[in-house]
Amino acid sequence: MDIFKVIKEKSCSIDFKAKNKQDCIKKLADLISLSVEELDSDAIFEALMERENSGSTGFDSGIAIPHAKLKGLKEFSVCIAVSKKGIDFDSIDKKKSFLFFVIIGPEERTKEHLQILAQISRLSRNRNTQKELYNAKSVEALIEAFIHHTSESMKTQKITKKQMLLFVILNELRFYDDILEIFIGQGITGVNIIDSSGVKDQLSNIPLFGDFLNFLGDHTDERKTIMAIIPESEVNKITLSIEELMGDLDKHTGAMVMALDIPYIKGTLEA
């Protein structure tokens, strides 16, 4: 889904203020309800609070992404609110939140909801995006900056029907969540994940090689192998997105990306 198609200009603000987290969510519900005909502000507030009570959506770097699925809602709505002074939103880094992205959507359209969440999560971590949104002088400029950065992040090659089996073998597990966001942001939820290990863990079970384990270093050999069937046109894009996170994969051993032709397929990885 293209996020810029569901951004609601009249529900955005560049001068958002709130006393505390609950007041913040109430005012965000009031704001986004301006673009929703089916539900009132109270229903949206209750849904956002219910989601928030299961775990804070205040992330690091001053970003918060409150969101909820609502029965009776027909379409998605997204709004952005900028707080110049920041609001205590129980963020994971214990710092104030300055940029709020609110997402509400139909209860039954979970896949699209996940896709929007992942896209906004990746987009909002871009320092240039954060700076432009925070410094926007008008709601129009805020929307323009959001659409510009969304369009840049969504550029794709011409889609073909050919499918590939993509493997991402990840050695640096600190990037695991970010890489899953890349897949979900592209609408690829049929992903299979295998806990795996390299040769060091295997050799540790063979007495013959016990004296040589230090040669391989002290770091853990735990890995994740991520598998997905994707359009051929997406292979390069996903690889480039991973390299934006990790750097040139040819210059270190943090991960390997491999794509294979599929001579035969039946069934799906979708749950």
Q: What is the DSSP string of 5-40?
A: GTB-GGG-BSS---SSHHHHHHHHHHHHHTT-SSS-
Q: What is the CATH number of the domain that holds 208?
A: 3.30.70.120
Q: How far apart are CA 66 and CA 90, in angstroms?
A: 12
The amino acid at residue 130 is: Q
Q: How far out from the chain centre does Cα 35 lie?
A: 24
Chain-wide mean pLDDT for the chain?
86
Quick check: 169 and 196 in contact, CB under 8 A? yes
Asked if the structure places residue 73 within a domain, the reply is yes
Q: What is the pLDDT of residue 219?
A: 53
For 244, half-sphere exposure in the C-beta direction (CA atoms, 13 angstrom radius) is 14
Q: What is the CATH number of the domain that holds 10?
A: 3.40.930.10
For 87, half-sphere exposure in the C-beta direction (CA atoms, 13 angstrom radius) is 23
How confident is the model over 18-69, as pLDDT tens digits?
999 999 999 999 999 999 988 999 999 999 999 999 999 999 889 999 999 9
The reply to whether 54 and 121 lie within a common domain is yes
Quick check: 181 and 238 in contact, CB under 8 A? no
67 is catalytic: yes
Domain boundary among 153, 178, 209: 153
Q: What is the pLDDT of residue 26?
A: 97
Asked if the structure places residue 269 within a domain, the reply is no
Helix/strand/coil percentages in the chain, nearest 5: 45, 25, 35
User: Is the pTM here over 0.75, yes or no?
Assistant: no
How confident is the model over 236-266, as pLDDT tens digits?
999 999 999 999 999 988 999 999 998 888 8
Extended beta strands in the chain, E state: 63-64, 67-70, 77-87, 97-106, 163-170, 191-197, 222-231, 255-261
| Res. 209: pLDDT tops 50 | no
| Res. 135: pLDDT tops 50 | yes
The reply to whether 250 and 171 lie within a common domain is yes
Q: What percent of the chain has pLDDT over 70?
A: 87
What is the residue range of 72's domain?
Answer: 3-153
Task: Please tell me the least confidently modeled range out of 64-73, 89-98, 182-191, 203-212.
Answer: 203-212
The reply to whether 181 and 254 lie within a common domain is yes
Quick check: 70 and 47 in contact, CB under 8 A? yes
